[in-house]
Amino acid sequence: MTNHAHQQNQRPLKPAQGRAVVIFGGTFDPVHYGHLRAASEVKEALSEAELRLLPSGTPPHRDHTFANAQHRLAMLELVLKNHPDFTIDQREILRNGPSYMVDTLKSIRQESPDISLSLVLGQDAANDLDRWHRWQELFELCHLIVMTRPESASAYSAQLTPQMQQRSTQTQQRLLAYQHGLVLHLPITQLAISSTDIRQQIQQGYNPRFLLPVSVIEYIKNHQLYR
Ligand code: ATP
Ligand code: MG
């Protein structure tokens, strides 16, 4: 029996085996409640999956990060100590050279060939997906979970629109059932918090409390980051 939904995609969907993995990437420079709340809601929507926070090593689209990889990782570890349902994937930090997401996903795929693997993206990042290095290959490696919010509309380019439409699924069950190639738009509470704003507040001598965990604020103070 073929499933109609399979035929919408260029290739048939492959059934997944083993525990699903969801990748929440970011620079986490520093990690804040916007990231953590969003990750938590994704985790609740796909509760069977392992949710991995994946700090970027050398982001190809930025000149530099403000705190080095070891600090960014240490801040994540501090937060997750009390939240063991999230894990950290360190592979980009351990690898040298620019961290292209397509290479990162390939490396995860090699470890777990048959799992359901998803990459979480904000709507802004998803709108720009066709500027990513070898972006078409992403659908052969993972599903996309696009975090939407009422006030920011999707603005896909002419070449992205058909991909996003044809691969679209309404249910997380389908994401978990298949290995890769689907797109789920998931409404997420977007808190108006950004690492950029937190770094600026610290630099200008303001107190960033309540925007990020106390343990992270303490770490930033102790290591004199972002000044
Ligand atoms: P910067 O200001 O340095 O760009 P950032 O706060 O945007 O940092 P990133 O590390 O770039 O954080 O974001 C990682 C991921 O977290 C992205 O998918 C992004 O869409 C998401 N994200 C960032 N801030 C929020 C927020 N306030 N609410 C929900 N998701 C967020
Ligand atoms: Mg950002």
pLDDT confidence of residue 10: 59
3-state secondary structure of 150: coil
Tell me the best of 28, 32, 35 to mutate to test the pocket of ligand 1, counting ligand atoms within 8 Å of each CB and taking the most. 35
Tell me the best of 24, 27, 73, 127 to mutate to test the pocket of ligand 1, counting ligand atoms within 8 Å of each CB and taking the most. 27
Q: Which residues contact 55 (CB under 8 A, 6 or more apart)?
A: 25, 26, 27, 28, 69, 72, 73, 76, 88, 90, 92, 93
What is the edge-to-edge ordering of all strands in the sheet holding 117-122?
86-88, 50-55, 21-26, 117-122, 143-148, 183-187, 168-169
N-term to C-term CA, the chain: 62
CATH class of the domain comprising 19-222:
alpha beta
1 alpha carbon – ligand 1 mean position (Å) = 42
Q: Which two tokens stand for residue 179?
A: 């290995």
DSSP assigned state of 22: E
26 alpha carbon – ligand 2 mean position (Å) = 8
38 alpha carbon – ligand 1 mean position (Å) = 9
Domain ranges of the chain: 19-222
Q: pLDDT (tens digit, 0 to 9) for every residue of the chain, 227 residues total?
A: 344 444 444 578 999 999 999 999 999 999 999 999 999 999 999 999 999 999 998 766 666 889 999 999 999 999 999 999 999 999 999 887 777 999 999 999 999 999 999 999 999 999 999 999 999 999 999 999 999 987 777 899 999 999 999 999 999 999 999 999 999 999 999 899 999 999 999 999 999 999 999 999 999 999 999 99
Beta pairing class for 143-148 and 183-187: parallel
pLDDT confidence of residue 61: 66
Pocket of ligand 1 (CB under 6 A): 26-29, 34-35, 38, 121-122, 125, 190-191, 193-196
Enter the pTM of the model: 0.93
As a whole number of angstroms, the distance between CA 15 and CA 13 comes to 6
pLDDT confidence of residue 57: 85
Q: Which atom of ligand 1 is nearest to the CA of 28?
A: 10
25 alpha carbon – ligand 1 mean position (Å) = 9
pLDDT confidence of residue 62: 64
122 alpha carbon – ligand 2 mean position (Å) = 9
96 alpha carbon – ligand 1 mean position (Å) = 23
Tell me the best of 121, 195, 200, 210 to mutate to test the pocket of ligand 1, counting ligand atoms within 8 Å of each CB and taking the most. 195
Q: Which residues contact 167 (CB under 8 A, 6 or more apart)?
A: 8, 9, 139, 144, 181, 182, 183
Start-end of H helices in the chain: 4-8, 33-45, 69-80, 91-94, 101-111, 123-127, 160-166, 172-177, 195-203, 214-222
